[in-house]
């Protein structure tokens, strides 16, 4: 027996399976990733409903009016300018701010944000509960609105502990949400 024959390794099933798994994972990185497109109102609106040029949907009954309008990330970044200009350290709770992403011309949307306004000149009291609002997609899927507690849980993962810069940014985001959500 040759002294070099001991060192020749013939790939076994485990090595072959590992190579196939690595190739499959590498190809899955090139897979289709669905991204949400722009929000568009349904073509056939209900009675007393209209669509404005800015994408807002208005329901009007007598002298009562509810307007629902999607807010773009650019609008949110302009509204909260001080919280949106620190790159990946931005504290804008609703967008990624001016965070650069690796792909050219790549932007990401963190949340879908709506502005709701109510004008009531005909009824004694009207309650519009944002916690009960459901967004129905074109494919029939339903997406409920997120509560402040759910958003706090989402951002809690970014704060490692209860001290330091990351925790300070968490508190800034939570304060921004408390000031602006469901007013």
DSSP line for 8-62: -----HHHHHHHHHHHHHHHHTTS-----------SS--TTEEE-TTS-EEEEET
Q: Is 70 exceeded by the pLDDT of residue 68?
A: yes
Q: Which residues 6+ apart lie within 8 Å of 178 measured at CB?
A: 148
User: Domain extents for the chain?
Assistant: 37-180
Q: Give the pLDDT band (50/70/90) at residue 120.
A: very high
pLDDT number for residue 119: 93
The mean pLDDT value for 33-59 works out to 73
Compute the mean pLDDT over every residue in the chain, rounded to the nearest whole number: 80
pLDDT confidence band for 57 (50 / 70 / 90): confident
Give the confidence band of 40 by pLDDT, cuts at 50, 70, 90.
low
Give the pLDDT mean for 94-116. Answer: 83
β-partners of residue 64 are: 61, 120
Q: According to the model, what pLDDT value does residue 64 have?
A: 92
Residue 34 confidence (pLDDT) above 60:
no
Is residue 83 over pLDDT 80?
A: yes
Q: Which long-range contacts (CB under 8 A, 24 or more apart) does 56-63 make?
A: 62/122, 63/119, 63/120, 63/121, 63/122
pLDDT tens digits, 127-139 = 888 889 888 887 8
Tokens 């004008």 found at: 119
């Amino acid at each position: 027996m040759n002294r070099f024959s001991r060192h020749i390794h013939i790939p076994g099933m485990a090595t072959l399976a590992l190579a196939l798994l690595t190739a499959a994972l590498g190809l899955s990185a090139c897979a289709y990733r669905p991204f949400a497109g722009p929000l568009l109102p349904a073509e056939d609106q209900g009675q007393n409903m209209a669509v404005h040029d800015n994408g807002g949907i208005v329901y009007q009954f007598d002298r009562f009016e509810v307007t629902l309008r999607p807010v773009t990330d650019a609008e949110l970044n302009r509204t909260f300018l001080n919280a949106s200009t620190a790159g990946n350290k931005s504290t804008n709770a609703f967008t990624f701010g001016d965070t650069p992403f690796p792909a050219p011309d790549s932007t990401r949307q963190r949340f879908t944000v709506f502005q709701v306004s109510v004008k009531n000149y005909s009824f004694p009291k009207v309650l519009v509960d944002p916690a009960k609002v459901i967004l129905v997609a074109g494919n029939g899927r339903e997406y409920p609105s997120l509560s402040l507690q759910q958003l706090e849980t989402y951002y809690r993962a970014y704060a490692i502990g209860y001290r330091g810069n990351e925790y300070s940014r968490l508190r800034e985001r939570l304060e921004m949400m408390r000031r602006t959500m469901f007013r």
